[in-house]
């Protein structure tokens, strides 16, 4: 089955596209990545997405407009990749852009992704799976992190407790350990707060700390780090999830104002250095609590050598590698995850693991927008896959 996965995350810097060929062989699901790419958003679309990610009231016309524009952008991206590769897709899975993820007293009450899938189905004639989080939320789950099902299958043969770590706007881990149930949750910010400071320093609306240069030019501020680490979210039990509804500009400014009142205005590069260590420390604290002996990382944060060095320093002897070493390009992981969720739903299999998100049961992910022809779903296999093998 050929599935195109589309992912845009909390960094909102572009659309990740992966074309995956999936085939079940016994209890093993073989996955070959036929193509993967990142398609940058046009400036006006990126700016409007970032406006929606700030926790403030916005016009309904902005939500509706971005929903349609992002849908058309995704449709063009899929049409382009199918034309260039000559691949005939069976399904497209579009995550869409999360613009709200509401949490009250640790319980997710709603999650909202936009990027109208009908544009993709109409442009390509291929059915589209979308809204992949809501069913899990309705069953009492967090709707996140969805990566847990891919991580669980990819690390099924791990001999020691191993954490799959994704460093996007938000950091999340999936811990797979022999003889123990898999656990997964968001640990806190990865690039979300770092990106905010990078944009303030450079004046560029979509800047990030390229190659860790901004963090390398600063020094960690212990008092600021301690204040940031006092965030109550870090002490919550799993399952839990978070996003830019918590880790946003006003949140950062509150901490910076407290620091400035006691110590004077901080150097912006020192703030970036401190936020980089915050990301590493909050990830490593959770890895230690779970007895993790190895880490397999993915996401944009793996391209920041200062952040990766901080992770390795905090972890000590535990090795840190990327999913590239397992055959899965780190930049393609989340879009490939969407393809996997599509394969599972198409074959009547849940896209979440029991207990991982907090849902009362595993749920089929998403809803389907038909393509040009009638829907003909796959037959459920005799048993779900037990492991995932990436075919190079």
Q: Locate tokens 């990566």: which residue?
A: 147
- Domain boundary assignment for the chain: 2-148+330-390, 159-326
Cβ contact 224:271 at 8 Å: yes
β partners of residue 15: 39
Q: What pLDDT is stored for residue 206 in this prediction?
A: 84
How, if at all, do strands 2-7 and 170-176 pair? unpaired
3-state secondary structure of 333: helix
Predicted confidence (pLDDT) at residue 79 exceeds the cutoff of 90 = yes
β partners of residue 52: none
- Using CA atoms, how far apart are residues 219 and 198, in angstroms rounded to an integer? 15
Give 56's pLDDT tier (boundaries 50, 70, 90): confident
Rg (the chain; Cα; Å): 20
Structure tokens at 190: 């990865």
Kindly report, residue by residue over 210-236, the tens digit of the pLDDT.
999 999 999 999 999 999 999 999 999
- Using CA atoms, how far apart are residues 345 and 272, in angstroms rounded to an integer? 41
Q: What pLDDT is stored for residue 205 in this prediction?
A: 86
159-326 CATH: 3.30.420.40
Q: What pLDDT is stored for residue 53 in this prediction?
A: 86
Cβ contact 189:182 at 8 Å: no
Tell me the pTM: 0.94
Kindly report, residue by residue over 116-150, the tens digit of the pLDDT.
999 999 999 999 999 999 999 999 999 999 999 99
3-state secondary structure of 378: coil
Kindly report, residue by residue over 292-316, the tens digit of the pLDDT.
999 999 999 999 999 999 999 999 9
> Which of 81-85, 143-147, 261-265 is least confident?
143-147
* Strand order across the beta sheet in which 183-189 lies: 183-189, 170-176, 162-167, 294-298, 320-322
Q: What pLDDT is stored for residue 38 in this prediction?
A: 95
Q: What pLDDT is stored for residue 54 in this prediction?
A: 82
Cβ contact 154:353 at 8 Å: no
End-to-end CA, the chain: 17
CA-nearest of 351, 362, 104 to 236 is: 104
Residue partners of 121: CB distance under 8 A and separation at least 6? 92, 127, 128, 369, 370, 371, 372
Give Dmax over CA atoms of the chain in angstroms. Answer: 66
Which element (helix H / strand E) includes 228? helix 222-229
Mean pLDDT of all residues in 153-182: 96
Mean pLDDT of all residues in 325-333: 93
Give 55's pLDDT tier (boundaries 50, 70, 90): confident
Structure tokens at 361: 């049961």
Structure tokens at 30: 């073989």
Predicted confidence (pLDDT) at residue 20 exceeds the cutoff of 80 = yes
CA-nearest of 43, 93, 83 to 337 is: 93
Q: What pLDDT is stored for residue 130 in this prediction?
A: 98
- Using CA atoms, how far apart are residues 62 and 52, in angstroms rounded to an integer? 8
% pLDDT > 90, the chain: 92
Cβ contact 276:213 at 8 Å: no
Could you tell me the sign of the dihedral formed by the alpha carbons of 241, 5, 323, 359, in that order? Answer: positive
CATH superfamily, domain 2-148+330-390, is ATPase, nucleotide binding domain (3.30.420.40)
Q: What are the φ/ψ torsions at residue 275 (nearest 5 degrees)?
A: -65, -35
Structure tokens at 228: 């940031």
Q: What are the φ/ψ torsions at residue 221 (nearest 5 degrees)?
A: -100, 105
In terms of residues, how long is the chain? 392
The reply to whether 159-326 shares the fold of 2-148+330-390 is: yes
β partners of residue 183: 175
Q: What pLDDT is stored for residue 244 in this prediction?
A: 86
């Amino acid at each position: 089955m050929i599935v195109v996965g589309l992912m845009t995350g909390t960094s909102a810097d572009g659309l990740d596209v992966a074309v995956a060929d999936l085939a079940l062989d016994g209890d093993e699901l073989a996955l070959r990545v036929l193509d993967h790419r990142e398609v940058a958003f046009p400036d006006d679309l990126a700016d409007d997405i970032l406006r929606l990610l700030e926790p403030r009231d916005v016009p309904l016309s902005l939500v509706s407009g971005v929903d349609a524009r992002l849908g058309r952008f995704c449709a063009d991206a899929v049409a382009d990749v199918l034309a260039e590769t000559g691949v005939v897709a069976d399904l497209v899975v579009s995550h869409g852009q999360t613009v709200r993820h509401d949490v009250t007293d640790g319980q997710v009450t709603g999650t909202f992704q936009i990027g109208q899938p009908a544009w993709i189905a109409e442009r390509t004639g291929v059915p589209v799976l979308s809204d992949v989080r809501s069913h899990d939320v309705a069953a009492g789950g967090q709707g996140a992190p969805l990566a847990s099902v891919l991580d669980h299958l990819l690390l099924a043969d791990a001999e020691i407790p191993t954490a799959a770590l994704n460093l996007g706007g938000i950091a999340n881990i999936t811990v797979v350990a022999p003889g123990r149930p898999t656990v997964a949750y968001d640990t806190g910010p990865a690039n979300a707060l770092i990106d905010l400071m990078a944009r303030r320093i450079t004046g560029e609306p979509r800047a990030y700390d390229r190659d860790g240069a901004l963090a390398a030019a600063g020094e960690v501020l212990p008092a600021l780090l301690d204040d940031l680490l006092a965030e109550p979210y870090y002490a919550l039990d799993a399952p839990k999830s978070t996003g830019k509804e918590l880790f946003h500009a006003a949140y950062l400014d509150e901490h910076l104002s407290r620091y400035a009142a006691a110590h004077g205005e901080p150097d912006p590069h020192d703030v970036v250095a401190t936020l980089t260590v915050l990301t590493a420390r909050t990830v490593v604290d959770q890895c230690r609590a779970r007895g993790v002996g190895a880490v397999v990382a993915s996401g944009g944060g793996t391209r920041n050598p200062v952040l990766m060095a901080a992770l390795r320093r905090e972890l000590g002897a535990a090795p840190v590698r990327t999913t590239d070493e397992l055959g899965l390009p780190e930049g393609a992981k989340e879009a490939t995850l969407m393809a996997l969720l599509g394969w599972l739903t198409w074959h009547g299999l849940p896209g979440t693991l029991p207990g991982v998100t907090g849902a009362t049961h595993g749920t089929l992910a998403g809803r389907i927008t038909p393509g040009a022809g009638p829907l003909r779903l796959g037959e459920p296999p005799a048993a779900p896959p037990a492991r995932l093998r990436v075919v190079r």
